[in-house]
Amino acid sequence: MSNSIKFLVSFLLILFLNSCNGKLPGADARKVPYDPRERVKKNLEEGKGFRLDESFGKGASGNFEFATANELWRASLDTIDFMPIATANYSGGILITDWYSDNQNLNESIKISIRFLTNEVRSDALNIKIFYKKCENIINCKITEQTGNLKTELTKEILKKAAIYKKQSEDKNFKPYNMPEIDNRNN
């Protein structure tokens, strides 16, 4: 084989293996019905798949939700809504606040950076950094990154809200599916 064909095959193999995201195909057999018709029904009720009756009917203009469909993104914005946002890049997966200071101490301010590592609601989905700025005067300021209780509490609050949003989204997408009866007498 020529080098270009070997390279192309290697590239496609790497691309294919990368798309797996480390998950094995399949599902937990205890949670999936044995009967294929029941699996189809379950998937359609959970919004996994499409129905032809909805594709060609009224309201087929499309549903574009973008960032509002991401539970972690919404929960993060709701949690830090009291702070001014400096950068919000949904496609880049980063949310950065501006420096914030309460009225009690104007010489100290805080800045929060939230990086989204995945869209799944789980404990390792967020990388949160908290920066403190302490100024003696306008020119002399010291900025430090802090870890600890505030970071832990912020992560817990975002994940708690995201789990609620995810449950609401699943409940909203649930649509009962009435399976057509199949005549099995001829089989």
Task: Give the tens place of pLDDT for each residue, 142-168.
Answer: 999 988 899 999 999 999 999 998 888
Structure tokens at 66: 């973008």
Residue 68's contacts (CB-CB under 8 Å, 6 or more residues apart) are 74
pLDDT for 157 equals: 95
Residue 67 has pLDDT above 70, yes or no: no
Q: What is the model's pLDDT at position 173?
A: 67
> Model pTM?
0.56
- Cα-based angle 81, 85, 86 (whole degrees, multiple of 5): 170
Q: How many whole angstroms separate alpha carbon 78 and alpha carbon 116?
A: 15
Q: What is the pLDDT of residue 34?
A: 67
Q: What is the mean pLDDT of residues 67-85?
A: 85
The CA radius of gyration of the chain, in Å to the nearest whole number, is: 24
Task: Report DSSP letters for 127-156, one per residue.
Answer: EEEEEEEEESSSS-EEEEEE-SHHHHHHHH
Q: Tally DSSP H helices, then E strands, for the chain.
A: 5, 5
